[in-house]
A and B are shown apart, each in its own frame.
Chain A
Amino acid sequence: MKSTYLLPRWCRPIGLLLGIPGLILGYLYSINDYEIPGFGFNLRKSDGLFQQRFENFTNELAIFLVVIGLSFTAFAKVKKEDELTSKIRLSALYWSMFLYYSTYLSGLFFLVFLNGFPSIISDHLNELSVVLPLLIFNLRFYYLLYARKDRFVTQAPRFLPCRPFRFTGIICTFAGATGIGFALAKGILLDSDTRWPAISFFVFFAGLLCWAFSKHKTEDEMMIQQRMESLQLAFYFNYLLFLVATLSFYSLDYLLVLIVGQFSLLLYFIIRMEYVRLKQHNISDPLEKGMTS
């Protein structure tokens, strides 16, 4: 297996130079409400209820530094990049995404059904959902590489069994999406008095998670490799789109971007994976055709 879609080695030190200040700035902005004085410009003609005339870009800067920095450190080639380091990277990505999204789903369960969520987390949920997947991925990757001096730590990725998770996942995704669609049409998606939109979101998210991380009917080596590559590409696409959205949307619109950002990676991953599967299914070999007809 060749290492594909990776960044050159020099991106790693640059990633560290960007990522660490970004994490510090993000922490100061989120916890201490720190804003770089004068770092912004007058975006609107007058102050609104939620939208002020002067828009400070400290949080956008922190997001840019963290996302680019941590992506660089994870996806830059290591000193001696070979098929195993590449495999370890993708396995770490898969593991960290599963861990992050499972934790997120548990949090969502508490929020939707038990209304009990520590404010220290819920107040910073949006920031955490940007930073945590990248951070967990980096920690896992470098742990697998350097935990042992003599050899790499390897662990084959684990999947949920095809039955019942895959089928249940697909049903829940579409059922949840229908619920969200209805809530959007009625304009009550963020209405705190109505409970079913939040339940729909939970069902949708749980469905996506089961669909993305469950085996196909026959999961062989090639499929696992395609699955990993799909996740890598979905990761790039998701964060690239997120950075563009960070530049293009502000205030309440940006809040919507952050909400979509909670599940967009899983969505892109599933789309890419199913597309590859369908494409292969439709490839017909003339020799095979001749044999079966």
Chain B
Amino acid sequence: MKNTIRVQRAIHNMTQAELAERIQVSRQTINTIESGKYVPSTVLALKIAAVFALPVETVFSLEDSD
């Protein structure tokens, strides 16, 4: 699953640490998700999308390999 968290952060001028703080996870977790090494749970994905005020499928989308 790919995501646009990095792009959305840039648009909202938000650091990884700030996003992590907003959804109560560690900065490393945000970095691991951003680099595509970890697929978050639905709860976490919804929380991230809510921070950017976007539908979850705008931030996360399936890849052909999924």
Q: Counting CB contacts under 8 A, is B4 at the interface? A: no
Query: Would you call A151 and B37 a contact (CB within 8 A)?
Result: yes
Query: Would you call B37 and A154 a contact (CB within 8 A)?
Result: yes
Stretch at the interface among A46-54, A76-84, A127-135, A211-219: A76-84
Rounded to whole angstroms, the CA-CA distance of A35 and B33 in the bound complex is: 51
Contact of A151 among B25, B35, B40, B43 (CB under 8 A): B35
Q: How far is the CB of A260 from chain B (nearest CB, A)?
A: 37
Query: Would you call B35 and A83 a contact (CB within 8 A)?
Result: no
Within 8 Å CB of A79, what residues of B? 26
Q: A84-B29, A85-B29 are in contact. List 6 more A-B contacts (CB 8 A).
A: A82-B25, A83-B29, A84-B25, A84-B38, A84-B40, A150-B31
Q: Which of A82, A87, A150 has most B Cβ within 10 Å?
A: A82
Rounded to whole angstroms, the CA-CA distance of A84 and B40 in the bound complex is: 8
Q: Counting CB contacts under 8 A, is B32 at the interface? A: yes
Rounded to whole angstroms, the CA-CA distance of A87 and B41 in the bound complex is: 11
In the complex, chain B residues 34-58 whose Cβ is within 8 Å of any chain A Cβ: 35, 37-38, 40-41, 43-44
Q: Counting CB contacts under 8 A, is B15 at the interface? A: no
Within 8 Å CB of B26, what residues of A? 79-80, 82, 84-85
Within 8 Å CB of B33, what residues of A? 84
Rounded to whole angstroms, the CA-CA distance of A87 and B35 in the bound complex is: 17
Rounded to whole angstroms, the CA-CA distance of A150 and B37 in the bound complex is: 13
Within 8 Å CB of A237, what residues of B? none
Query: Would you call B28 and A154 a contact (CB within 8 A)?
Result: no
Q: How far is the CB of A6 from chain B (nearest CB, A)?
A: 15
Closest to B38 in A: A154
Within 8 Å CB of B37, what residues of A? 151-152, 154
Task: Report if A151-B41 is in contact (Cβ < 8 Å); known contacts: A80-B26, A82-B24, A85-B26.
Answer: no
Rounded to whole angstroms, the CA-CA distance of A1 and B44 in the bound complex is: 9
Rounded to whole angstroms, the CA-CA distance of A1 and B43 in the bound complex is: 8
In the complex, chain A residues 55-89 whose Cβ is within 8 Å of any chain B Cβ: 79-80, 82-85, 87
Query: Would you call B44 and A83 a contact (CB within 8 A)?
Result: yes
Closest to B31 in A: A151
Query: Would you call B40 and A83 a contact (CB within 8 A)?
Result: yes
